[in-house]
Each structure stands twice: as structure tokens, then as C-alpha cells.
């Protein structure tokens, strides 16, 4: 019984340690989120197998910057956004999109 409990705790610890932490925020391209003002961003622990993301997009006439978690999979968030922008150039424009795997790696700022 003790061995089972110890194994369960070790597995839970290993799973928890693999959870990626990312900065999370959204706002205009001249706002605190875009400027990577750390005090204005939350640090979140992503669920499951995830990546951190940073996006700068325009949908219609509204431009926004976003940071947060995104699922890791065969098609990542940036590939999906660029495909959507290509199929709907009047509706979506991607200025920048990046994903990364390390904790809090989505700190980059707009150029």
C-alpha cells in the first residue's frame, strides 16, 4: 500500500512539474500587454500539454495583442491563424505570432 501511495505521489509530482507556466493578458498594441509590463500580466499554469503564445492580430478594424496558453498539437495556434488570415485576408491579419515551450517564455514585445 505504501509503495502505491509513493508511486502515485511521484507520478503526480512529475505531471505537475511538466505543466508550463505562461504570461496571460490581452489588450491594444500600445497597451501594457504589448509592452510586456509584467505587473499587468498574470502568470497562469497551463492545462495538459501546452505551449505559451504571443499574438498580435487585427480582426476587422480591431487590433489586439494576446499572451497565454495554447494546446500543443499537430497544428499549432500560429499555423491556424496564418491559414485563417490567408483564407480571409479582409477579416484577419496576423502581424506576429509565436509559440514557445519554456516557462514564461511569451514575454517578447512588439517591434
The third-level CATH classification (topology) of the domain covering 20-100 is: CD59 (2.10.60)
Query: pLDDT tens digits, residue range 67-83?
Result: 999 999 888 999 999 99
And the C-alpha cell for 5? 501511495
The SS3 assignment for 111 reads coil
* Boundaries of every domain in the chain: 20-100
- 3-state SS, 41-98, equals CEEEECCCCEEEEEEEEEECCEEEEEEEEEECCCCCHHHHHHHHHHHCCCCEEEEEEE
Query: pLDDT tens digits, residue range 87-101?
Result: 998 899 999 999 999
Angstrom distance (rounded) from CA 109 to CA 104? 13
Sequence-distant (6+) residues with CB within 8 A of 10 are none
- The whole-number pLDDT of residue 16 equals 45
**C-alpha 1: how far from its chain's center?**
40
Q: Show the low-confidence residues of the chain (pLDDT under 70).
A: 1-17, 109-111
Residue labelled with grid coordinates 493578458: 25
Amino acid at each position: 500500500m505504501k509503495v502505491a501511495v509513493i508511486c502515485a505521489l511521484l507520478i503526480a509530482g512529475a505531471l505537475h512539474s511538466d505543466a508550463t507556466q505562461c504570461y496571460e493578458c490581452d489588450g491594444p498594441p500600445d497597451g501594457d500587454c504589448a509592452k510586456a509590463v509584467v505587473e499587468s500580466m498574470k502568470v497562469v499554469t497551463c492545462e495538459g500539454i501546452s505551449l505559451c503564445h504571443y499574438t498580435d492580430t487585427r480582426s476587422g478594424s480591431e487590433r489586439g495583442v494576446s499572451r497565454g496558453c495554447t494546446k500543443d498539437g499537430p497544428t499549432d495556434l500560429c499555423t491556424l491563424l496564418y491559414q485563417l488570415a490567408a483564407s480571409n485576408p479582409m477579416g484577419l491579419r496576423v502581424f506576429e505570432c509565436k509559440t514557445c515551450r519554456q516557462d514564461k517564455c511569451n514575454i517578447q514585445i512588439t517591434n
